[in-house]
Amino acid sequence: MTVVTANTGTTRAESFTVRASAETNRAALCLYARRLVSWYEIAMSNNLSRQALDLDAPWISQDTLSVEPHQIVAPDGSYDPDDVPDLTEEAFLDLYRWMLFEKRYAERMVKLQRRGELGTFGSSRGHEASIVGSGYPLQDSDWLLGMGRETMAMLQQGVSLRDMILFWRGVDDAQQFLAQENCMIGISVGGYLPLVTGIGWGMKRMDADAVVTAHFGDGATSTGASHEAINFAGVLDIPAIFYCQNNQWAISTPFEKQTNANSIAQRAIGYGVDGVRVDGNDVLAVHAAMTEARELASQGNPVIVEGLTYRRGGHSTNDDPSRYRDDEERETWIDRDPIERYERFLQSEGLWDRVDRETLLEGIDEEFDAAHEAADAYGPRDVEEIFVHLYDEMPPALEAQMASFGEFLETYPEMDEHVDRRPKG
């Protein structure tokens, strides 16, 4: 006989006990699971149904706000010259090189992973304009906390490519090197957003001439941490930019199941901050929005910028997107490639003659090769490091674990071979 006790809460008298056989429990659980699935299906299929209401007050609805993304260069490369940001020719060309770098970096990292040199890797293919356009307007003093799909933005802040390779090899030291450049990658989806608000609060209190930027995905916007972070940033007038790379998928969850809202940008209203949605495949539009966002944030107005883009590949090298999404959808986004669109812009501006794509790629490959070599040269780590790296003063329980592990290796020296001192590579 299995006893299941469920305490409904308030008083002992209200508590009840259910006694049932193991079989009955299993059957009840199955029924419950089936009900959950059908509730979920109903909720997902029918979440827009409304009843006529007769209230004499204006309802705020999804249609109240326009969510048209801000765009400067259309997918076919056309644009209104008046809308083009006032950048130098060097800056226009620089944006191109950074995007090419992001693309090449992703290709090379996927290859490294396939050769068994990285544990896993999350490719940014398709995100190039979103990443480069959002990172470029940041200043050296700014902070950037991301989720791993914003490498070139971090490199622009001073992070080294070697450390990105180390990070994806699972060498935790990489985070310390990133921190030296005021960057961090948060693996817990959305979990680091309150830290962003905290850092921004510190900046405000110290009257620092800097802003903090959070890069995160559409999936992160459903976490409690993200709501708390952005809401609190609004209350405290934090110099923070919340940049959402909405690539329309969170692993296998499509955007329409992520939220019933039409956009992430419109949520700004609920948090009492400003928001904008931009075409995340248009590097100039993202750049313009982030430039303005930085200006607003530095005046104590936190903002949400939503870059609408598309994850062309799998979530990571461990993922097979063909199991949950149509190739057709992907095809439509290939036609909106951010790099090709920007090439058309450079051609129209007469700047394309100054681009030697092959030479650029050679330079990028050389940089990657050097970083790869440096990552390989990064020495094996001491086993003790996994115990000592977190605390200034090690707690006794951890000290005991370290001693016990040392004794274990002394007793069984052959086990030493199984200790991975430099993961994956």
What is the contact surface with ligand TPP in residues (CB under 6 A)? 149, 187-189, 191, 217-220, 245, 247, 249-251, 311, 315
Identify what 336 binds: ligand TPP, Mg ion, none; CB under 5 to 8 Å per kind: none
Pick between residue 218 and residue 319 the one whose CB is nearest to Mg ion. 218
**Residue numbers annotated as active site:** 311, 315, 324
**Which residue is nearest to ligand TPP, using beta carbons?**
217
Pick between residue 223 and residue 348 the one whose CB is nearest to ligand TPP. 223
Pick between residue 143 and residue 216 the one whose CB is nearest to ligand TPP. 216
Question: Do residues 132 and 150 touch, judged by C-beta distance below 8 A?
Answer: no
Locate all alpha helices (DSSP H) within 21-77, ordered by sequence.
22-45
C-alpha span between 183 and 3 (Å, rounded): 51
Q: How far is the CB of 327 from ligand TPP (least distance, A)?
A: 19
Residue 12 amino acid letter: R
Instruction: Report CA 414 to chain centroid distance, whole Å.
Output: 41
Identify what 191 binds: Mg ion, ligand TPP, none; CB under 5 to 8 Å per kind: ligand TPP
C-alpha span between 167 and 178 (Å, rounded): 9
Pick between residue 197 and residue 247 the one whose CB is nearest to ligand TPP. 247
Nearest to 120 by CA among 381, 318, 341, 331: 318
β-pairing, 16-20 with 2-6?
Answer: antiparallel
Percentages (nearest 5) of helix, strand, coil residues in the chain: 50, 10, 40
Identify what 188 binds: Mg ion, ligand TPP, none; CB under 5 to 8 Å per kind: ligand TPP
As beta bridge partners, residue 16 has 6
β-pairing, 183-185 with 143-146?
Answer: parallel
Pick between residue 156 and residue 247 the one whose CB is nearest to ligand TPP. 247
Q: Where would I find the beta strands (DSSP E) of 123-273?
A: 143-146, 183-185, 212-217, 240-246, 249-250, 253-254
Identify what 277 binds: Mg ion, ligand TPP, none; CB under 5 to 8 Å per kind: none
Q: How far is the CB of 225 from Mg ion (least distance, A)?
A: 16
Pick between residue 223 and residue 298 the one whose CB is nearest to Mg ion. 223
Q: How far is the CB of 185 from ligand TPP (least distance, A)?
A: 11
Q: How far is the CB of 148 from ligand TPP (least distance, A)?
A: 8
Question: Do residues 196 and 229 touch, judged by C-beta distance below 8 A?
Answer: yes
Pick between residue 24 and residue 259 the one whose CB is nearest to Mg ion. 259
Q: How far is the CB of 191 from ligand TPP (least distance, A)?
A: 6
Angle at 215 between CA 209 and CA 219, to 5 degrees: 150
Nearest to 135 by CA among 268, 241, 247: 241
Q: How far is the CB of 9 from ligand TPP (least distance, A)?
A: 28
| 232 Cβ contact partners less than 8 Å away, ≥ 6 residues apart | 194, 197, 238
Question: Do residues 216 and 244 touch, judged by C-beta distance below 8 A?
Answer: yes
Nearest to 162 by CA among 378, 361, 360, 366: 378
Which positions touch Mg ion (CB under 5 A)?
A: 217-218, 247, 250
Q: How far is the CB of 316 from ligand TPP (least distance, A)?
A: 8
DSSP 8-state code for residue 88? -
Identify what 315 binds: Mg ion, ligand TPP, none; CB under 5 to 8 Å per kind: ligand TPP
C-alpha span between 197 and 145 (Å, rounded): 11
